[in-house]
Every structure is written in structure tokens, then in C-alpha cells.
Amino acid sequence: MRILTSASLIRSSEEDGSKILDKLKIKVRLPSGKLVIGTLWKYDSYYNIAVVNIKASPELREACIHNQVPANVKLSQSKLVAIGRAFESGELMATGGTLLHGTTKFDCQQLMASTCKITKAGIGGLIVGSDGKFMGMSFYYKDGAPFLPFSILQKCLKHFNKFGRVVQLSLGLRIGSLQAEKLHVREQVHDSFPNAHGIYVQMVSDKSPAADSGIKVGDVITKIDKLELFNAQEVLFFCISIFYLETIL
């Protein structure tokens, strides 16, 4: 069986946080309290995820996230719940919060932001919506739990299986939700397009795929293939999905 979790749990606490611990020993506590030994199968430092293998156990039920319909994350201030479990006691922990428009301070652009405040015991735990749908996997930050959307987790698991690693795609642009931009930026856009919403282009690298396609700083991307856009993660995931399909065809 494979367990998806945060790579923070297997990395060194030293300055070079990307280094995997030497002579790593992984223990997994089952719902009954029994400890079993796990082995590291795959990990990705950029997305900060790891997959641990353990022997099959009837105590664990398979999570079929590959077949799940994507949760609706279009509206900001959507209610979320971060769920974790204490390692020693097995006690279930949960805290509420909301989905935010803004991006996080981490390098990974696909991380979404929330106001759920968790302890480090919640690292690698679930983020679920008010409708009970699985939204993603949480990470620790003092101002709220950023989380990696389940659509990105899907992509990573598929890449692990097919390529043995996560294949990165560089578009050469930095984007963000228009509603999360500074007031003067939103005013400039709305002066010309009063009802504009979508994704604001903050930076375009020279000679990048984005530049070659004609995208410029200040552009607002409202739709891709008739799909209305509300957060930057949707744009990045759409492009990554197209890349993945082209790779396997």
C-alpha cells in the first residue's frame, strides 16, 4: 500500500531543507495503534510530497482520488476544514478556515492559501470543503495552512508511475488572481473592463512559451477552452494537464 504525505516529514531540519535524511527510518501508526515499518518510494522537493510504501493492511481503506470530480474552488472565502491526527495518541484534530484568493510565500506556485491554522502535527493532513470533498493536502505555516490541490496531487502520482519522477513544465510567467492584486492594478483593469475577472499576468520571461504565444504583462486571462478561471492554480494545472496528455499520446 502507498501512503501520500508531506516530504517535510522525511527531510533534514538543517538549512538545506531539500536534503533527505540519511538512514531514514519510517514508522506508520495504523488506526489500531500498531506501528509498521514503511519505505520511501518517491518524493518531489518542489511540491514537497512523498509516497511511502507499507505492507497491505485491512485497517487502511484505499482513497480513490483518481476518479474524484474536482471540487469547486471558484469562490474565495469558501469554508474549509483542515484535518490531522496526532502520531502518539491517534487523536483526530480539525480546525476550520476559509479559502483565500492570494498566493502563498512558498516557491511552489500551485499552492493555494487558506486561513486554517494548524500545528506541525497537521502536516500532510487533509483539507476538505464544507461539502465534504477532498480539496488537497495541507502544509504548515504560522498564518494559515497552505495546501496542494488534489488535481496537482493526481498529476504527481501519475508522473511517479509513468516517469519515476514529476516532470516540471516551465511556462515562463508569473500569474495571480486579479482580485488579489493591489488596488491600483485592479482599478487600471476595471477602468477599461468594468466586469473583468480572472488571472492577472504579473511577469513574462523573454523567449519563454508564454512570450512566444503573445502573452504580455498586464493581460487578464479570463477563460481557457471555455473554462472560466478564478485562481492561478487552474491555469497552471490546465497547462500541465495538456502537457501530460501530449506526453502519453
Q: With 90 as the cut, is the pLDDT of residue 63 above it?
A: no
Q: Is 57 left (phi over 0), alpha (psi -120 to 50) or beta?
A: beta
N- to C-terminal Cα separation, the chain: 28
- Domain ranges in the chain are 2-54, 79-163, 173-244
Give me the pLDDT at residue 76, please: 45
79-163 homologous superfamily = Trypsin-like serine proteases (2.40.10.10)
Q: With 70 as the cut, is the pLDDT of residue 68 above it?
A: no
Give me the pLDDT at residue 97, please: 93
Q: Which residues contact 235 (CB under 8 A, 6 or more apart)?
A: 175, 199, 221, 224, 229
pLDDT digits (tens, 9 = 90+) for 156-208: 898 899 889 988 767 788 887 787 788 888 888 888 888 888 888 888 888 88
Q: Report how far Cα 246 is from the mean position of its chain's Cα atoms.
A: 22
Q: Is 94 exposed, middle or buried (0-12, 13-18, 19+ CB in 10 A)?
A: middle
Could you count the other beta carbons within 10 Å of the beta carbon of residue 33?
10
Give me the pLDDT at residue 134, please: 86
Averaged over 223-231, what is the pLDDT?
Answer: 73
Q: How many CA atoms does the CB half-sphere of 4 hold within 13 Å?
A: 24
Q: pTM of the prediction?
A: 0.71
pLDDT digits (tens, 9 = 90+) for 82-105: 998 887 888 889 999 998 876 677
Secondary element (H or E) of residue 3 = strand 2-6
Q: With 60 as the cut, is the pLDDT of residue 241 above it?
A: no
Q: With 80 as the cut, is the pLDDT of residue 40 above it?
A: yes
Q: With 60 as the cut, is the pLDDT of residue 67 above it?
A: no
Give me the pLDDT at residue 102, please: 66
Instruction: Note whether 235 and 221 are within 8 A (CB).
Output: yes
* C-alpha cell recorded at residue 62: 484505499
Measured between alpha carbons, how far is 125 from 132 in angstroms, rounded to an integer? 14
